[in-house]
Amino acid sequence: MLRIYDTRTRQVEDIPQARALRMYTCGPTVYRYAHVGNLRSYLLSDLIRRILERQRVRMVVCQNITDVGHLVDDAEFGEDKIAAQAREEGRSTLDIARFYEDAFRRDTAALNLRPPEHTPRATEAIDLMIELIAKLIEKGHAYTVPDGSVFFAAESFPSYGEISGNRLDALKPGHRVEGVDPRKRFHADWALWKHSHRELAWDTPWGGRGFPGWHVECSAMSLRYLGEHIDIHTGGIDLRFPHHEDERAQSDSAAGHEVVRRWVHGEHLLFDGRKMAKSTGNVVLLADVADEGLDPLAVRLAFMEHRYRHQMNLTWDTLRAADRTLRRWRARVAEWAESPSAPLDQTAVRQAEAAFDDDIDTPAALRVLRELERDESVAPGSKFESFLHLDHVLGLDLSSEIGRVRVLPAGAAELLEQRARARQECDWAAADRLRDDLAALGVKVADTPDGQTWT
């Protein structure tokens, strides 16, 4: 059984055993390329899915595409991020949204993130949002103002703040240049619908044209595609407040009960000790990693060296080390594939799977693999089966070099094992002699900090 940290209850909780589970993941706002910090959040939901699917659970996943409604700096006033980018690039908002949506899909595919069953776009779900807003107005949780905008009445949801700890009685009015919106009954109310005559705007039953607020999009789409009982909701830690607090208030108020069972958040990613930002010039894209000659899945491996809810400092040295490990493991798996078949190493597999189930402890699972790689008592065929079995969760394509590597000459595999053992025992004379024996067979051996490799 998977146990995972629930942000709302502030403790590790069981994910109940069931034949099918429903998970919602807050998707991208498609106005720029996703950087590797953004992508770490999406790896979290992919790992949850893979772990549960290995336990024979059918996962139904929804991940939205925000292509309208997300304002610059998440303010109540101002310009939509997509509209701002469209103006900067001299293209239409729709062109911008589709271009960066396609780029996001390519990046997630390169990281081996399994595609969700549902990926609704906000612009194609306006009717769902209008229907939800109308329901909230009818139930007394929302109110209209003369210009056709609609606000959620925060005070109508008493348990607001359970996810982030930001209770309504402690929240103070914002101090932006514009000040507090005079149309609000209470300063912490937020816009469900914003009056506007801009390019992307729609008519509403309560009068006037406009566009939806960012928070209402996720409520409307999650309720439509997953229903009123959602088992897991994931996102980055920065979404706890106000996005997930507002989303919970909207969804629960409409449904009349707690909609999401477990709220799971991934921590921030730093690069070279600083938060990634355009202003600091340290934004790293997946394309930048490939331009350095590194496999994109080295990013996935580097992420898994840390717990998802711990802040992580990524560096180029970290990525290069992950790339070396990834290439070595693929070469070893291809090498072991030539050995006689053998059963899984049950001890190693149980330890790794227990780590997965323990709040997704990927660092512990990777340590099991490293120990298994070095364990001379385990047959190569067993290592092969165990690595590929665990790669169903790790998603590192460890079998990708099978068939691409020249088959070792007869007797070379045994010499490589003997040399690895000699190096482990610091018998350097024997290691040098075995290197010469391997060279005579046409096998070139190189020693690295992570062990010997061969071509």
* Residues in binding site for Zn(2+): 26, 218, 243, 247
Residues lower than pLDDT 70 in the chain? 72-78, 174-179, 405-407, 450
Pick out the residues of the known binding site for ATP.
Answer: 278
pLDDT of residue 409: 82
Residue 90, φ and ψ in degrees, nearest 5: 70, 35
Coil, strand or helix at 12: strand
Q: What is the pLDDT of residues 197-212, one digit of tens each?
A: 877 889 999 987 999 9
Q: How far apart are CA 377 and CA 134, in angstroms?
A: 67
The four Cα atoms 291, 296, 299, 305 give a dihedral, to 10 degrees, of: -140
In Å, what is the CA distance from 302 to each residue of 36, 317, 324?
A: 11, 10, 11
pLDDT of residue 62: 98
- Residue 175 has a pLDDT of 44
Q: Which residues are annotated as a binding site?
A: 26, 218, 243, 247, 278
Beta strands in 11-163 (DSSP E): 11-14, 20-25, 58-63, 142-144, 150-152
Domain boundaries, the chain: 3-266, 274-405, 409-455
pLDDT at 179: 63
Nearest to 270 by CA among 255, 280, 256, 257: 280
At 427, the amino acid letter reads D
Mind listing the pLDDT tens digit for each residue in 241-279? 999 999 999 999 999 999 999 999 999 999 999 988 777
- pLDDT at residue 207 in the model: 83
* pLDDT score recorded for residue 163: 97
pLDDT the model gives residue 277: 77
- pLDDT given at position 276: 84
Determine the residue type at 72.
Answer: V
Q: Which fold has domain 3-266?
A: Rossmann fold (3.40.50)
Give the dihedral sign, CA 308/310/315/317.
negative
